[in-house]
Structure 1
Amino acid sequence: MTGPAGAIEHRSLPLGSLPIPDERVVDVWLIRQDRLPLAGLGALAATSEGADTRQLERVQQRFLLRLLLGAYLDRPGRDVTIDRESAGKPVLVGEDARRLAFSQSHAGAWLAIAVSGGVPVGIDIEPGDRRPRWERLARRYFPAHDADAVCSDPASGGCRRFLDHWTAREALVKAAGRTLAGNVAGIELGADPGDRPAALPSDWPTGAWSLRRLETAPGLVGHVAWAADSAPDLRLRQLAGPG
């Protein structure tokens, strides 16, 4: 899909070669890890190496990320080199970094991976039914007027508004290669996250930054952010096992 509305394209393994997204497009891959054959491979790893469930999920996430990036770069996933910037943001290296940028997020069984044609990108998702102590968190981490807007009517979707604000902020932080600490409170979004943040921390990387809400993600709340002057078109794809 492109834009905020439309159908999710379903793709199956094996992927083959994938075209690099156009300059205004971000590919967003949504993956249910528990419905892929990798789950069986992970069980074998857990038996042989003593890995717990969280370790297994991380192994699968790294495998899937390399698999996808390799499909865009037309090489096996094992040959994709990923490094980390000073704040921990994973990035490709060399010429690959100029061709592709990516970000990932996970929520429960869901893994989301965003891929752009080299424009710094960030993605964050949360389960739509998550119920954190959202009023307390909003008052603690958001600018006062944003917190007031989120908490204005707790009985009418307040938690959903919080998750909307939170995923937009975390997506921006990931796109910029920053950390949550010291940055979340400096991001102003207003009453409703739109296509652009209202204000960013004074030491934020220069240039334009924009947002796009994930409208059709199944049971999820999420945002994509990137370093461009207008919100990206999103092409949503859900990855399933063979057949």
Structure 2
Amino acid sequence: MYSIEPVPLPHDGPADISLWRVDFAFDASLADTAFTALSDDERVRAKSFRRQDDALRFASVRAALREQLARRLGIAADAVRFTSDANRRPHLADFNALDFNVSHAGAHGLVAMSPERRVGVDVEHHSDKFDWHSIASLTLDASEAAWIEQLDAARQVAAFYDAWVAKEALVKATGVGITRGLQHLTVLPRDSTQVTLRNPIPEDMREMAARWIAAPDGYSACVAWSATTFA
């Protein structure tokens, strides 16, 4: 039987943020006991995916999230209830002071959680067939695109994904996102694990921080958080 065992991940962010990696088994079945805690709505959503791999990505991350939340809350995993805010960002229906965020791509997912602040996370699988130029205008500041162009071809793809995951994690952590688009955030050049917002910083990003985190080969990942706490 398939069991989901999230791997705790180290990071350089605040100690109240917990982070886990979920590794997918694509030969699993949604009928496995690992998915027992999923709600009827979650099962319907999982079955709505056309590809079985996508269904397993969603179901595995949601099952792992339920288990970690249940441990924090002291309740059964199937008793965890979710709702969404006006921006369709999921949150707990019955508890306020516990924020979470998830992401998945390829063979891995991420779960981030904090009882003190908003969190955002993103992981992306590098694709050698992907031409980053095709969406550069939608995701990169002009200075970032110029900086990537100076790199050798082998490093360009990784640099693009580094920018992508950092911006997505930051936007997800705000809870409302940046209305002007990802290209209005500037996070490159990268010179450490710390994400440095460059150029004029949008108002909704001034209380945010982020760190790139270690990811499996061929992946980029980042975790972001709000500087202010719930208290």
Aligned positions of 1:16-95 closer than 5 A: 24-34=15-25, 41=32, 52=50, 53=52, 54-94=54-94
Matches of 2:224 and 2:96, distance apart in 1? 18
Partner of 1:106: 104
Matches of 1:126 and 1:136, distance apart in 2? 17
Q: Which moved more, 1:218-227 or 1:186-195?
A: 186-195
Closer/same/farther in 2, CA of residues 24 and 200 from structure 1, 3 Å limit:
farther
Aligned-CA RMSD value:
3.3
What's the offset of the Cα at 1:111? 1.4
Closer/same/farther in 2, CA of residues 115 and 144 from structure 1, 3 Å limit:
same
Closer/same/farther in 2, CA of residues 65 and 209 from structure 1, 3 Å limit:
same
Q: Any unmatched runs of 5+ in structure 1?
A: 1-11, 16-21, 230-243
TM-score (norm 2): 0.74
Match of 2:113 among 109, 112, 115: 115
Letter in structure 1 aligned against 2:76: P
Percent identity between matched residues is: 23
TM-score (norm 1): 0.71
Partner of 1:159: 157
What's the offset of the Cα at 1:139? 3.6
Report which structure shows greater RCO (CA 8 Å, sep ≥6). 1
Q: Provide, for residues 187-235 of structure 1, a one-character-per-residue CA deviation record: whole Å limited to 9, x for no partner.
A: 1113127333225764526x521111112x2222110011128xxxxxx
Matches of 2:211 and 2:110, distance apart in 1? 14
Matches of 1:124 and 1:204, distance apart in 2? 19
Contact 2:4 2:64 in 1 (8 A): no
Q: Which moved more, 1:61-70 or 1:115-124?
A: 61-70
Matches of 2:93 and 2:121, distance apart in 1? 20
Letter in structure 2 aligned against 1:83: T
Q: Which moved more, 1:110-119 or 1:166-175?
A: 110-119
Letter in structure 2 aligned against 1:137: I
Contact 2:169 2:222 in 1 (8 A): yes
Partner of 1:209: 208
What's the offset of the Cα at 1:162? 0.2
Closer/same/farther in 2, CA of residues 32 and 56 from structure 1, 3 Å limit:
closer
Contact 1:165 1:189 in 2 (8 A): yes
Matches of 1:25 and 1:36, distance apart in 2? 35
Q: Provide, for residues 111-132 of structure 1, a one-character-per-residue CA deviation record: whole Å limited to 9, x for no partner.
A: 1101122310000001245542
SS at 1:115 equivalent: strand
Matches of 2:132 and 2:81, distance apart in 1? 38
Contact 2:185 2:202 in 1 (8 A): no
Letter in structure 1 aligned against 2:65: L
Aligned positions of 1:194-205 closer than 5 A: 194-199=194-199, 202-204=202-204
Q: Any unmatched runs of 5+ in structure 2?
A: 7-12, 36-42
